[in-house]
Chain A
């Protein structure tokens, strides 16, 4: 199996301590959206950080390959690795307020990447930024370029971060809970926009979320994580029709839906947790030297 991003048996741990990711493998192809779901602490965001080379300093990649466009990133020297990642991948972060510099105007925040990292002339970068703001349906883009982040709404700021992520035409985008901080009505617009941009630019998208509802709207395939281990990898439609792993089924059963008023909410049963914990322990036994 090949794809634009291919992660093979990635194991990450706290230096000299706990396992964070256990033997994670997944593939994201150009034009496809792959969801990473799981509860908090399952390691969803860490996969994205490992790919982008932004893992916290306390963590280390123990083994495995991260293959971006045919090249194993682990085999490159750090400088070349950063250059590769910078040229071909980008991030849409969760919180549109903290991701933008409050003391700088929007324009330079979008063009910086193009000018500083990719060496575009300033004028070309500004023209590109204007074009992008129009593409993400921002009214009066010239004015927004001169605005500061606090002058814009949360939805508007998230549109800017999306424009910014697509600025250098990356082949891979990692979206880390990009709509968690937004109202549902704004979330809907932003999810539509991400899907629209992703299919127009034929980007491979790794979509981190805790919300199975969101997964069913944007993803083609997904991985369910528990304690840093992929417990199920699935085609999206198959997953919602017929989840295979008991933990996946339990997560679905615990998710409330307003269309189903009668059924009671079922927390993930202890037997399921015990079962998946046992799988994790067995994995660690096998992995131990």
Chain B
């Protein structure tokens, strides 16, 4: 298993309801999640806003520390691992962010951005690795000299992907990476991600609010609602016969580009 997550809990102090004296009450965001991510799987994580999708993703990459339960990555318990040890692990799991404008440093060239994590990991031969990453995401090598603002939204998202795969990780988390893109760039990025997963043997967790996108890309789906897993299963089965009432509600609410759809 790439990931084994057991009874994962995460809570934040709820400062909006903190009494004048004493500790703030805890706001439970993840309420005991258990699931596995097999090696080579593409897992879709879907849910409404506030369902805990992004918090779950950040806990899996240990950008947040869980307050309960365990997360094991390829057999290693990373639940409470310290920063020093995590740095060594981080080259094995990488993240692609939602907004390529705010997640790419506007003052650095694309080459420098992609080389950033490589440098942190103390790797050499940076130019070669950057060129290779650009090749893999289908951008010309000359783009290494450009700045993010010179690129289109789709191209920026390719840079985000290049930065994540440059380290040749085993696992990538993609958090709403196509939600800001037009349908055509979205199709290109999804097709690219699908190819990379296949060619590099990656395991991918793909967070999205869009079930149509998830169906195209993912082979398993996890449905979150209010910090709990309401349904998990193989994509085809989940779409053909959704079990949880919430999954059915989500599916029924999607407006398909088809005037004959019975839309409740």
Question: Is A251 in contact with B183, judged by CB distance below 8 angstroms?
Answer: yes
Interface size on B, residues (CB 8 A): 37
Tell me, yes or no, whether B89 is within 8 Å of chain A by CB. no
Question: Is B257 in contact with A261, judged by CB distance below 8 angstroms?
Answer: no
> Can you list, as one digit per residue, whether each of A168-196 has a CB less than 8 Å from chain B (1) or not (0)?
00000000000000011101100100000
**Contacting residues, chain B, for A250 (C-beta < 8 A):** 184
Distance in angstroms between the alpha carbons of A272 and B216 in the assembled complex = 23
Residue of A at shortest CB range from B51? A183
**Contacting residues, chain A, for B49 (C-beta < 8 A):** 154, 183
Question: Is B48 in contact with A185, judged by CB distance below 8 angstroms?
Answer: yes
Select one of A184, A211, A217, A268 contacting B250, CB under 8 A: A184
Question: Is B259 in contact with A258, judged by CB distance below 8 angstroms?
Answer: no
Distance in angstroms between the alpha carbons of A39 and B255 in the assembled complex = 18
**Contacting residues, chain B, for A252 (C-beta < 8 A):** 257
Question: Is A258 in contact with B182, judged by CB distance below 8 angstroms?
Answer: no
Distance in angstroms between the alpha carbons of A258 and B49 in the assembled complex = 20
Known contacts being A258-B212, A261-B215, is A267 close to B254, with CB within 8 Å?
Answer: no
Return B197 CB to nearest CB of chain A, in Å: 14
**Contacting residues, chain B, for A210 (C-beta < 8 A):** 182-183
Interface centre among B249, B254, B264 (most CB of A within 10 A): B254
Tell me, yes or no, whether B72 is within 8 Å of chain A by CB. no
Tell me, yes or no, whether B187 is within 8 Å of chain A by CB. yes
Tell me, yes or no, whether A259 is within 8 Å of chain B by CB. yes
Question: Is B256 in contact with A185, judged by CB distance below 8 angstroms?
Answer: no
Tell me, yes or no, whether A117 is within 8 Å of chain B by CB. no
Tell me, yes or no, whether B163 is within 8 Å of chain A by CB. no
Interface centre among A39, A215, A251, A265 (most CB of B within 10 A): A265
Question: Is A267 in contact with B255, judged by CB distance below 8 angstroms?
Answer: no
Q: Which secondary structure characterizes the binding site on chain A?
A: helix
Question: Is A185 in contact with B250, judged by CB distance below 8 angstroms?
Answer: yes
Distance in angstroms between the alpha carbons of A265 and B189 in the assembled complex = 10
> Can you list, as one digit per residue, whether each of A252-265 has a CB less than 8 Å from chain B (1) or not (0)?
10111111010011
Residue of B at shortest CB range from A179? B255
Q: Which secondary structure characterizes the binding site on chain B?
A: helix
Question: Is B236 in contact with A261, judged by CB distance below 8 angstroms?
Answer: yes
> Can you list, as one digit per residue, whether each of B227-255 has a CB less than 8 Å from chain A (1) or not (0)?
00000000110010000000001111111
Question: Is A188 in contact with B255, judged by CB distance below 8 angstroms?
Answer: yes
**Contacting residues, chain A, for B261 (C-beta < 8 A):** 216
Tell me, yes or no, whether B209 is within 8 Å of chain A by CB. yes
Select one of B153, B188, B259 contacting A237, CB under 8 A: B259
Distance in angstroms between the alpha carbons of A254 and B167 in the assembled complex = 31
**Contacting residues, chain B, for A255 (C-beta < 8 A):** 183, 212, 257
Question: Is A217 in contact with B187, judged by CB distance below 8 angstroms?
Answer: no
**Contacting residues, chain B, for A236 (C-beta < 8 A):** 259
> Can you list, as one digit per residue, whether each of A110-143 has a CB less than 8 Å from chain B (1) or not (0)?
0000000000000000000000000000000000
**Contacting residues, chain B, for A212 (C-beta < 8 A):** 183, 257
Tell me, yes or no, whether B55 is within 8 Å of chain A by CB. no
Distance in angstroms between the alpha carbons of A87 and B263 in the assembled complex = 35
Distance in angstroms between the alpha carbons of A265 and B252 in the assembled complex = 22
Interface centre among B210, B236, B253, B255 (most CB of A within 10 A): B255
Residue of A at shortest CB range from B255? A213
Identify which of residues 36-67 in chain A touch chain B, using a CB-to-CB cut-off of 8 Å.
39-40
Known contacts being A183-B48, A264-B191, is A254 close to B257, with CB within 8 Å?
Answer: no
Distance in angstroms between the alpha carbons of A240 and B258 in the assembled complex = 6
Return A189 CB to nearest CB of chain B, in Å: 9
> Can you list, as one digit per residue, whether each of B168-212 has a CB less than 8 Å from chain A (1) or not (0)?
000000000000001111111011000000000000000001111
23 CB contacts below 8 A, A to B, read: A40-B182, A154-B49, A184-B209, A184-B255, A185-B48, A185-B249, A185-B250, A188-B253, A188-B264, A213-B257, A215-B257, A216-B255, A216-B257, A240-B258, A251-B183, A256-B190, A256-B213, A257-B212, A257-B256, A258-B212, A258-B239, A265-B191, A268-B184
Question: Which 9 pairs, one residue from A and one from B, show the smallest C-beta to C-beta distance?
Answer: A213-B255, A265-B187, A212-B257, A268-B184, A39-B182, A256-B212, A183-B48, A267-B187, A184-B253
